[in-house]
Amino acid sequence: MKNVQVNAIHLKDYIAPSFLVNHVDLEFILEPKKTIVTSWLKLTRNPDVGGPLVLDGDELRLLSIKVDGKLLETSKYAQDNSSLTVDGLPDTCVLEIKTEIDPALNTQLEGLYLSGGNFCTQCEAEGFRRITFYPDRPDVMATYTVTMHADLKSHPVLLSNGNLIDQGVGKNGKHWARWHDPFPKPCYLFALVAGDLACYEDSYHSGSGQDVALKIFVEHGNEDKCAYAMDALKRSMRWDEERFGLEYDLSIFNIVAVSDFNMGAMENKSLNIFNSKCVLASSDTATDLEFERIEAIVAHEYFHNWTGNRVTCRDWFQLSLKEGLTVYRDQEFTSDMRSAPVKRIQDVRTLRARQFPEDAGPLSHPIRPETYIEINNFYTATIYEKGAEVIRMMQEILGRDGFRKGVDLYFERHDNQAVTCEDFVVAMEDANDVDLKHFRLWYSQAGTPEVDTTWSYDEVNKSFTLNLTQYTPVAHGQEGKRPLHIPMTVGLVGRDGKDLPLILEGEEGKQGETSKTLRFDQEQQSFTFISVDQCPVPSINRNFSSPIKLSTTYSDDDLRFLMENDSDAFSRWDASQNYATRLVLRMVKTIQEGTELEYDSNYAQALARNIADETLDPAFLAQMLSLPSIDYVAEQMQVADFAAVDQARTFLKAGIARELYEQFLELYMCGKENTAYSPDAVSAGKRAIRNVALGFLGTLKNDPKGLDLIVGQYEVSDNMTDRMAALTLLASMEGEVGEKALKSFEQRYSHDTLVMDKWFAVQAISKIPDTLGQVKNLLTHPAFSYKNPNKVRALIGSFTGANPAKFHADNGEGYRFLADSIIHLNGINPQVASRLLSPLGGWRRMDGNHQKMMKAELQRILDTENLSKDVFEVASKSLAR
Ligand code: TRP
Ligand code: ZN
């Protein structure tokens, strides 16, 4: 390790700020290479805390400081490369600071930068300190007035938070605008945009009669791709009023789409800035999944207006306070807009694919971490997705009405405050008069609990006993795990496939419900149900009521039975995943032993009965028919063998395709619609099932009929969902068919940078023999750029993160390629570099040879000069723990 400043921050060290900022006046003279920023901070000493004023600053050129209008001598302040300290200030004063910054040089995309010639900002988490010296911490909340000056011709649109209060035209082709945000906010919610943008407009009429002007700003030529995001925004606004009683609080709401962006989107007060990928969509450019994602992210950022902005975080250890809660809210929104079970299934897939491995690996941390080196590394699946699961469990425990009462009390108490996760839990307790003392452990304890279940039926007493044992493995840095309070929803399925009434021993005389949430809060617990007149199959953790790994003693027959009968759609799907995982793992063993693979047709027959069930929603059926991913199956092995899992999974898929050939053909043919494309959930579900069927047919080598269907679909489809589904299959075929389709796609979409990202990604996840060679060639394609995070993720990220069998190639070339990419990106964009790293952290689960190669690459990264804090933290933790 060279030239790295390692400074870990700890939650226990929190102290309140020594000065509060009542109001901020900002002035920007915007020039690409030299922007002058002047700030006037109205300061008040915090009576509870002593000490000097310490302002954060990063890559700023300080021009001058004044206190109450008087120039401050250089002896009165001290500056180092990350802070500015001013001592001896009066208890109240106005501090004026002038700085110079270079937006054109800012490739980190934090602070003020240029994207396609337009100025924009990204301040969360700690980007504001790259704009001006400031107490860059979320518990300092101030109102803002922002004046910007820019060239009228090249930057006609000038935006910031709040309301436009004045504007004018200046000399030399300049113009200016002044915005005022009446709501106090932390600086991470500050935003500014100056550019040449087209505007797509609409309006919203709120429940209480307020009119809100809605505007989406995009690069010229993209106006025709805004309608869906706008519609999603209006539905989000309505939904939040209806579900949580939360209305929007200003008369203007702006969204700006930019091409260069580190994450999905940002909830800056009244000026959300989005990765253009998360806004722009048309039938010809976006897939159904992308439409769904746009809807969810628009809602997510809008919902932050209350959960994040009106009530914000005291410090960054509380990040899940806003993110977990807002993800939970956007998940609920999507389940109301679309199919609730399908949404739950998708979310659990994501949780298992990203959060479970994170929580079992070297970067494991609780949803409220206790220490970090670089906060950007903590925008994780744990903070977001597990955080949302913890909120969901509270709503499961308190009921929907009880949860709502808690949320109401939270806003009543904490509006305009910067608070903690603890404040949220206390509001839930106080509103419901319950004790969540034990439940709180979910906030501080990392790791995924493993729950073992056994059961027995007592024929004589007609009782059924469920025995539960929980155990949380020791995650890195956290010993001595304690049992958690797990809300465990169960049902008992009778032999006719119908749910039996549930009466817990001790609760005799109660009316039996058919699903019950048990309070499972000890290491070992047994629950006995009485008056169970026949031996049932238990359905456990229905709707994924808790984020656990469940291990059961189901027989194959039990799983097939649940696949066909469970009234809980999630558990029905989970039985299917469970069964398929079992089969693949059995085949992997066969492969490793070098014996002949055998195909078991029982699974396909259970699938066939689902296909034949016409009452099933096509979107749900598509989920039932989608096999678990290679990563998910490999996760279940002591020593992961990706190549063997890939081979076994492909063998199983081809076996199912052969056995259900007629059914798949029929699903494909019958689902064909002659109506124009619509992105709604029902139409998307129909496309999903057809494309799943096509995917099965595509696994059959030497099946000219299947190939014809795929090529035909690629050529004639009128929408990106179908075109992309076909292209994905073709891109994995060696030789002319694949190459021809890729060439035609490139020609057709070379003008559309977002669609070209799909073209990069589909080649990176291809199964052709030399995928890596193909990826390396594409690095020099004119449409590729290391400076654009979407491009990096599409090409490099897809290969290293979504093509495990290739990435883990025995020659170690995949590892070397990833390390080379990270070392290169470290100097351009540390956040993006660091986020690419996680596949190398999985070395502990590989065999000795792979381990050695992966560790060597991690070490090579750590030996790089001028390593960023971001990359240093992840690489060193990955190697050391
Ligand atoms: N708060 C944003 C969200 O959840 C996340 C985000 C956007 C972000 N851009 C970022 C976080 C840059 C860190 C850095 O919607
Ligand atoms: Zn968020």
The tens digit of pLDDT for each residue in 689-744 reads 999 999 999 999 889 999 999 999 999 999 999 999 999 999 999 999 999 999 99
Q: Distance between alpha carbon 14 and the CA centroid of its chain, in Å?
A: 28
Q: Where residue 667 falls among pLDDT bands split at 50, 70, 90?
A: very high
Looking from the CA of residue 384, the nearest atom of ligand 1 is 4
Residues with Cβ–ion distance below 5 A, ligand 2: 323, 326
pTM over 0.95: yes
pLDDT higher than 80, residue 673: no
Cα of 156 vs centre of ligand 2, distance in Å, is 30
Q: Does 286 sit in the ligand 1 pocket, CB within 6 Å? A: no
pLDDT single digits (tens) 379-401: 999 999 999 999 999 999 999 99
Cβ 334 vs Cβ 299: under 8 Å: yes
Write the DSSP assignment of 233-301 as a string of letters.
HHHHHHHHHHHH-----SSEEEEEEES--SSSEE--TTEEEEEGGGT---TTT--HHHHHHHHHHHHHH
CATH classification code of 311-444:
1.10.390.10
Q: Does 330 sit in the ligand 1 pocket, CB within 6 Å? A: no
Residue in 126, 189, 256, 262 to alter for ligand 1 test, most ligand atoms within 8 A of Cβ: 262
CA dist 751 and 756 (Å) reads 8
Write the DSSP assignment of 814-842 as a string of letters.
HHHHHHHHHHHHHTT-HHHHHHH-GGGGG
Cβ 150 vs Cβ 175: under 8 Å: yes
Cα of 752 vs centre of ligand 1, distance in Å, is 25
Cα of 748 vs centre of ligand 2, distance in Å, is 35
Residue in 121, 123, 124, 329 to alter for ligand 1 test, most ligand atoms within 8 A of Cβ: 124
Cα of 326 vs centre of ligand 2, distance in Å, is 6
Average of per-residue pLDDT across 646-670:
97
Within 10 angstroms of residue 101's Cβ, the number of other Cβ atoms is: 24
Q: Does 301 sit in the ligand 1 pocket, CB within 6 Å? A: yes
Average of per-residue pLDDT across 457-477:
93
Least distant ligand from the CA of 379: 1
Write the DSSP assignment of 604-629 as a string of letters.
HHHHHHHHH-TTS-HHHHHHHTSPPP
Average of per-residue pLDDT across 171-176:
97
Amino acid present at 130: R
Looking from the CA of residue 308, the nearest atom of ligand 1 is 1
Least distant ligand from the CA of 388: 2
Buried b (16+ CB within 10 A) or exposed e, 25-48: bbbbbbbbeebbbbbbbbbebbee
Q: Name the β-bridge partners of 27.
A: 38, 147
pLDDT confidence of residue 881: 67
CATH classification code of 1-112+120-194:
2.60.40.1730
- The answer to whether domain 311-444 and domain 453-533 are alike in fold is no
Q: Does 267 sit in the ligand 1 pocket, CB within 6 Å? A: yes
Write the DSSP assignment of 525-541 as a string of letters.
EEEEE----S-PEEEES
Residue in 109, 115, 122, 382 to alter for ligand 1 test, most ligand atoms within 8 A of Cβ: 122
Is the link from the previous residue into 8 a cis peptide, with omega within 30 of 0? no
Least distant ligand from the CA of 121: 1
Q: Residues with Cβ < 8 Å from 850, sequence gap 6 or more?
A: 808, 810, 812, 843
Question: Across the chain, how many H-helices and E-strands are there?
Answer: 29, 31
In degrees and rounded to multiples of 5, residue 577 shows phi and psi of -60, -45
pLDDT higher than 80, residue 246: yes
CA dist 261 and 563 (Å) reads 42
pLDDT single digits (tens) 260-282: 999 999 999 999 999 999 999 99
- Token pair, residue 857, equals 């690459």
Count, residues in the chain: 881
- Token pair, residue 873, equals 């933290």
pLDDT confidence of residue 674: 79
> Does domain 453-533 correspond to CATH entry 2.60.40.1840?
yes
Cα of 265 vs centre of ligand 1, distance in Å, is 6
Average of per-residue pLDDT across 342-356:
98
Cα of 792 vs centre of ligand 1, distance in Å, is 18
Cα of 632 vs centre of ligand 1, distance in Å, is 27
Q: Which of 227, 202, 218 is nearest to 678 (CA)?
A: 227
Q: Residues with Cβ < 8 Å from 792, sequence gap 6 or more?
A: 786, 821, 825, 829, 832, 836
CA angle 417, 422, 425 (to 5 degrees): 105
Q: Does 56 sit in the ligand 1 pocket, CB within 6 Å? A: no
Q: Does 263 sit in the ligand 1 pocket, CB within 6 Å? A: yes
Q: Does 122 sit in the ligand 1 pocket, CB within 6 Å? A: yes
Residue in 379, 380, 385, 832 to alter for ligand 1 test, most ligand atoms within 8 A of Cβ: 379
pLDDT single digits (tens) 804-817: 999 999 999 999 99
Q: Where residue 480 falls among pLDDT bands split at 50, 70, 90?
A: confident
Look up tokens 């860059």; give the residue.
136
Distances (CA, A) of 407 to 135, 427, 466: 30, 7, 34
Element (H, E) at 546: none
Q: In 494-584, at which residue ranges do the beta strands (DSSP E only) sit?
A: 516-520, 524-529, 537-540, 549-551
Distances (CA, A) of 665 to 217, 580, 627, 703: 44, 22, 19, 12
pLDDT higher than 90, residue 474: no
Q: Does 379 sit in the ligand 1 pocket, CB within 6 Å? A: yes
Q: Does 128 sit in the ligand 1 pocket, CB within 6 Å? A: no
Q: Does 305 sit in the ligand 1 pocket, CB within 6 Å? A: no
Cα of 192 vs centre of ligand 1, distance in Å, is 16
Q: Does 834 sit in the ligand 1 pocket, CB within 6 Å? A: no
CA dist 759 and 728 (Å) reads 9
Closest CA to ligand 1's atom 3: 266
Q: Does 266 sit in the ligand 1 pocket, CB within 6 Å? A: yes
Q: Where residue 5 falls among pLDDT bands split at 50, 70, 90?
A: low
pLDDT confidence of residue 358: 97
Active site residues: 301
Cα of 263 vs centre of ligand 1, distance in Å, is 6
Q: Distance between alpha carbon 40 and the CA centroid of its chain, in Å?
A: 37
pLDDT confidence of residue 1: 46
CA dist 521 and 481 (Å) reads 13
Looking from the CA of residue 304, the nearest atom of ligand 1 is 15
Q: In 758-802, at which residue ranges do the beta strands (DSSP E only) sit?
A: none
Least distant ligand from the CA of 263: 1
Q: Residues with Cβ < 8 Å from 505, sequence gap 6 or more?
A: 463, 527, 528, 529, 530
Closest CA to ligand 1's atom 2: 266
Q: Does 125 sit in the ligand 1 pocket, CB within 6 Å? A: yes
Cα of 830 vs centre of ligand 1, distance in Å, is 15
Q: Where are the domains of the chain?
A: 1-112+120-194, 311-444, 453-533
Distances (CA, A) of 151 to 33, 160, 168, 414: 14, 16, 12, 41
